[in-house]
Amino acid sequence: MLNSSSSIQAIALLPVDREALAEIQAMLRERDVFTSGYEYAGIDVYDPATYLRDQLLYDTSFCFRYDRNVLSRLVEVVHGRPLSTEHRVACGIQMLAQIAEAVVEPNIALYELGSGCSHADAKEQLALFRCIDHTHPQHWADLATGRANALDASQLGNWEGQSIKEANYAKTLNIWRASLAVCLKIASLELSRMGAEAKMLELIRWMEEDLCFLWPGVILANRYLAPHANRSGLFKHLRSQNRGKALQGIRNQAWDLTLVYAWMNDFHGSNTTDRIVILASLDRGLHSIARWILITAEDEYLIETARQQKLEAEFVLAWGEDRGRRLLEALLSAESRRITQPESKRLLTLEYVRDIERRMEEEVLSPLSSI
């Protein structure tokens, strides 16, 4: 029973058993797999009643935007891969998305697949995902809780006869180009012989003069370039002797930023729609950056104050009091110049951004001994 007030009640019959649901809620909450914006209102994003209540009372619709790591594990489950804890978590995410009656949006994950493989591979995976999304949620609950260790072919749903929106998954997204440029710059700076503070100052100068301010990229850089940063999971294989492997790690990091940017657009768009988008990922670092971007307040002045406070906390924690405030002052001054001197902004043509990518890829692909 969903209680929104003493005068409004509704009965919801969920398609999974209560015991499995409680176990999966606890697992997902502990694994911390969702970012939504609900967190700041103290609302439990892991409780199906949250979604069903808002649908009933406010006609709110929901969308789960899947990271590649969620989609790929669901596909592996269908293909009979032995289940790890991460596979079971992905099954739990899929179950909750279905009983919340949410649309699932895997397009960024599919563009990532299309960029590394082909449009045909991405299209094939989309068709398989439609079958996944039409599978009874109790099957995903059984897999998530360990009651089942595989999905029988007869249990997989059927989407035939339903249209799939066509997209060219081999297309290069503009948001991906910007993300890749930022990640290549961060990687290039990390490999340079500059001091840590000088690296961050150079990134700020570069964003001001050569590209633009991309805040998720700023936060990523701040957490990676600081001398005592926890770099676990970031820019994997950057110092590998296999420089192609290093470049792939940078590209993977850029896809994480791309997903954050796409979700940011979803989040800002929710102000004019009744649609809430949940970011679903197994990557804690990605959630950390997405949550930093979340700034909610009643008016524009309070939002700016909250942003200032978050920036101060971010930089002081990463760099210490003196260096943190010095870097923050440089960042805010550069941002102010971009706003007050629009005539100085560089025109970001596709050719120019491609040239940035080429030059920095060449730097990253150089043997480590020459960097």
Mean predicted lDDT score pLDDT of the chain: 87
Statement to judge: residues 186 and 54 lie in one domain = no
Asked whether residue 116 is assigned to any structural domain, the reply reads yes
**Percent of the chain predicted with pLDDT > 90:** 55
Statement to judge: residues 70 and 188 lie in one domain = no
Q: Rounded to two decimals, what is the model's pTM?
A: 0.88
Asked whether residue 9 is assigned to any structural domain, the reply reads no
| Residue with more model confidence, 171 or 282 | 282
Per-residue 3-state assignment (H helix, E strand, C coil) for the chain: CEEEECCEEECCCCCCCHHHHHHHHHHHHHHCCEECCHHHHCCCCCCHHHHHHHHHHHCCEEEEEECHHHHHHHHHHHCCCCCCHHHHHHHHHHHHHHHCCCEEECHHHHHHHHHHCCHHHHHHHHHHHHHHHCCCHHHHHHHHHCCCCCCCHHHCCCCCCCCCCCCCCCCCCHHHHHHHHHHHHHHHHHHCCCCHHHHHHHHHHHHHHCCCCCHHHHHHHHHHHCCCCCCCCCCCCCCCCCHHHHHHHHHHHHHHHHHHHHHHHHHHHCCCCCEEEEEECCCHHHHHHHHHHCCCCCCHHHHHHHHHHHHHHHHHHHHCHHHHHHHHHHHHHHHHHHHHCHHHCCCCCHHHHHHHHHHHHHHHHCCHHHC
Over the stretch 99-137, which tens digit does the pLDDT of each residue have? 999 999 999 999 999 887 778 888 899 999 999 999 999
Asked whether residue 290 is assigned to any structural domain, the reply reads no
In the chain, the number of structural domains is 2
Predicted confidence band at 2 (pLDDT cuts at 50, 70, 90)? very low
Statement to judge: residues 211 and 127 lie in one domain = no
Statement to judge: residues 142 and 52 lie in one domain = yes
- What does the pLDDT read at residue 43? 73
Over the stretch 263-294, which tens digit does the pLDDT of each residue have? 988 877 665 667 889 999 999 999 999 988 87
- What does the pLDDT read at residue 252? 94
Over the stretch 225-262, which tens digit does the pLDDT of each residue have? 998 888 888 999 999 999 999 999 999 999 999 999 99
Domain extent for 96: 17-155
- What does the pLDDT read at residue 12? 57
Statement to judge: residues 83 and 117 lie in one domain = yes
Asked whether residue 3 is assigned to any structural domain, the reply reads no
Over the stretch 32-84, which tens digit does the pLDDT of each residue have? 999 987 666 667 889 998 888 888 888 888 999 999 999 999 999 999 999 99
Statement to judge: residues 211 and 344 lie in one domain = yes
Statement to judge: residues 42 and 184 lie in one domain = no
